[in-house]
């Protein structure tokens, strides 16, 4: 009887080295997004620290065993050269879109109570397809998150008039009173380590210090640094903070949180979908507002576990 691909991988997994297992786990994660990796990227996203020589030898070994494939110096679990072509086009589009993202991010930094802005999502990983949005991660002053978010999203309503709303996807807000991410897993670790800071160096550095746990998942991947100087504070920011930086501001912030929570619960109950066909959902708290359409994070982690199971590798394996 001819062995299946699963049988072959199951036999090989029993004799895989720690480095080989880590490589397969790294490729399995990015396989979810149909994104092959360069050798340098594999080394950066491993969950163990190995030498360059071990990395080279392990990649050769896995390729010889038929467990990974190489096309144009890009590594993948799939024997699909089209993924490399798709990546190249996505990288080229991202290079252009990142210039725009930096300009927009610096503009968003001028809204009241915004203390840091970073590019997140696929664009922070240097990839953009034809339907790409610009996703932003935003940190606000403590107990003013909902004032900041409401003002910014009222502005976003205006962008629908010009069809540019996809350039202002402010998907994740947190305030500087609660800077540690509660969900600590490969998904959130990767998102944090690939953030592209635009403004708010001091606040971003504080965020990094509260999330050193990401080094347990990605010990070879450094936090990314802001490349440009902070812009000067503009009148809009000063005026808004002067108006709401008082007891009234606390009260209004709570009211806006309640209104937003009820509104998103209604969207979820009605099964409203975004443009990608995912049911709209938001995580709402006093110190966090996070869009999670179609329970995206949970689905990614579930698919990741399935891929590791197919490879006969436990998530705890090194």
Each residue's pLDDT tens digit, 32-66:
999 999 999 999 999 999 999 999 999 999 999 99
Q: Rounded to whole angstroms, how far apart are CA atoms 46 and 48?
A: 5
Query: What pLDDT is stored for residue 236 in this prediction?
Result: 83
User: Which sign does the torsion angle of CA 37, 188, 10, 7 carry?
Assistant: negative
Q: Rounded to whole angstroms, how far apart are CA atoms 170 and 224?
A: 20
| Residue 146, φ and ψ in degrees, nearest 5 | -75, -25
Using CA atoms, how far residue 314 sits from 185, 199, 295, 317, in Å, is 14, 39, 23, 5
Query: What pLDDT is stored for residue 8 in this prediction?
Result: 46
Query: Domain locations in the chain?
Result: 5-83+301-310, 87-258
Q: Count Cβ atoms within 10 A of the Cβ of residue 51 and give its class: 0-12 exposed, 13-18 middle, 19 or more buried.
A: exposed
- The class level of CATH for 5-83+301-310 reads mainly alpha
The answer to whether 297 and 181 are in contact (CB under 8 A) is: no
pTM for the whole structure: 0.89
Residues of the chain with pLDDT under 50: 1-8, 11
235-244 and 145-159 helices cross at what angle (nearest 10)?
140
The answer to whether 249 and 147 are in contact (CB under 8 A) is: yes
Query: What pLDDT is stored for residue 289 in this prediction?
Result: 94
Query: What pLDDT is stored for residue 227 in this prediction?
Result: 78
Percent above pLDDT 90 for the chain: 77
Query: What pLDDT is stored for residue 2 in this prediction?
Result: 40
Q: Rounded to whole angstroms, how far apart are CA atoms 208 and 214?
A: 9
Q: Rounded to whole angstroms, how far apart are CA atoms 277 and 250?
A: 36
Q: Rounded to whole angstroms, how far apart are CA atoms 116 and 174?
A: 10
The answer to whether 289 and 260 are in contact (CB under 8 A) is: yes
């Amino acid at each position: 009887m001819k062995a299946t691909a699963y049988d072959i991988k199951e036999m090989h997994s029993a004799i895989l080295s720690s480095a080989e297992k880590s490589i397969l786990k790294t490729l399995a994660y990015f396989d979810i997004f149909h994104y092959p990796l360069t050798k340098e990227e594999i080394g950066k996203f491993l969950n163990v620290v190995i030498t360059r020589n071990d990395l080279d030898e392990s990649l050769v070994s896995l390729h010889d065993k038929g467990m990974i494939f190489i096309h144009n110096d890009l590594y993948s679990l799939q024997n699909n050269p089209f993924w490399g072509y798709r990546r190249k086009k996505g990288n080229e589009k991202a290079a252009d879109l990142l210039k725009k993202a930096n300009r927009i991010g610096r503009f968003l930094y001028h809204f009241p109570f915004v203390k840091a802005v970073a590019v997140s999502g696929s664009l922070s990983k240097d990839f953009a397809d034809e339907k790409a949005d610009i996703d932003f991660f935003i940190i606000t002053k403590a107990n003013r998150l909902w004032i900041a978010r409401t003002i910014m999203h009222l502005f976003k309503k205006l962008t629908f008039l010009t069809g540019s709303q996809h350039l202002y996807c402010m998907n994740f807000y947190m305030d500087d009173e609660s800077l540690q991410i509660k969900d600590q897993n490969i998904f959130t670790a990767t998102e944090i380590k690939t953030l592209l800071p635009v403004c708010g160096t001091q606040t971003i550095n504080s965020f990094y210090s509260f999330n050193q746990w990401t080094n347990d998942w990605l010990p070879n991947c450094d936090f990314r640094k802001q490349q440009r100087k902070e812009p000067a504070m503009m009148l809009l920011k000063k005026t808004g903070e002067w108006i709401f930086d008082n007891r009234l501001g606390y009260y209004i912030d709570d009211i806006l949180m309640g209104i937003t929570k009820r509104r998103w619960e209604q969207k979820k109950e009605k099964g409203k979908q975004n443009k990608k066909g995912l049911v709209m959902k938001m995580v709402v708290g006093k110190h966090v507002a996070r869009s999670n359409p179609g329970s995206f994070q949970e689905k990614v982690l579930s698919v990741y576990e399935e891929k590791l199971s197919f490879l006969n590798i436990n998530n705890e394996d090194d």
